[in-house]
Amino acid sequence: MTLRLYYHPLSNFCQKALVALYESGVDFTPEFIDLGNEDDRARLGAVWPMVKFPVLVDEARGETVPEATVIIEYLNDRHPAPAPLIPADKEAARAVRLMDRFFDLHVNQHLFSVVSDRLKPEERKDPAGVEEAKAKLAQTYGFIDGQMADREWAAGGSFSMADCAAAPTLYYADRIVPFGERRNLAAYFERLMKRPSFARVFEEAAPYRHMFPAE
């Protein structure tokens, strides 16, 4: 086995990379990493000094590829899915990258603000900051709902890297701020949940979901 993925099943960025791997159908060895375990941290640090996952190691090529988006770019070049996750057409590829960045940098940013506050001790909590993040998260929902009015997938008619980013992030975001009456967004998320690649990732994360600070 020449591909190794260093990851944790609960991490949305790791799930993003896993969805792409399952879409590609390529064989790989999962390397479970518990960042609370010093031996695991050392193992991850040996391949990526930033000690952050996911990291893909291609042993045959001697390549170490960190960051979920870059991993998907790498897979698209070296181990493409039957339907490419990043289109060859430059305009279509730019639309995919835009939505990929939107989910990672906007939806996830506000989601993380709320989740990280829940993990802080009481004296360091920021209720005003949490409410602001929730309001901004709701704002992103409005944008996605409008985009999905005439689309099947995030960047158009084909499942892409943008959907790999959307699936885990939207699952966690809905736990923080429910989608409510945004029907296009809700219908899109239902399609994501039924996608075999994400359904598999979702099932694999089940033993760890109790660790997510929903409240």
Question: Coil, helix or strand for 20?
Answer: helix
**Mean pLDDT lowest for which of 1-5, 99-103, 114-118, 171-175?**
1-5
pLDDT band (50, 70, 90) for residue 215: low
Average pLDDT over residues 77-101: 95
Q: Delimit the domains of the chain by residue range.
A: 3-78, 90-195
DSSP string, 52-118: -S-EEEETTTTEEEESHHHHHHHHHHHS--SS-SS-SSHHHHHHHHHHHHHIIIIIHHHHHHHHHHH
pTM score = 0.95
Residue 20's nearest CA partner among 150, 155, 198 is: 198
Average pLDDT over residues 142-158: 96
Residues 6+ apart with CB under 8 A from 18: 5, 7, 9, 54, 197, 200, 201, 204
What is the tens place of the pLDDT at every residue in 98-121?
999 999 999 999 999 999 999 899
Task: Just give the CATH number of 3-78.
Answer: 3.40.30.10
Give the pair of three-digit tokens for residue 162. Answer: 């943008």
What is the tens place of the pLDDT at every residue in 7-63?
999 999 999 999 999 999 999 999 999 999 999 999 999 999 999 999 999 999 999
Residue 200's nearest CA partner among 14, 15, 5, 2 is: 15
Task: Quote the percentage of the chain above a pLDDT of 90.
Answer: 94
Give the pair of three-digit tokens for residue 53. Answer: 């996952």
Residue with tokens 């993925």: 5
pLDDT band (50, 70, 90) for residue 157: confident
Rg (CA), the chain: 17
Answer yes or no: CATH 2.60.120.10 is held by domain 90-195.
no
Residue with tokens 């989608």: 179
Cis peptide bond N-terminal to 54, omega within 30: yes
How many Å apart are CA 4 and CA 7, to the nearest integer?
A: 9
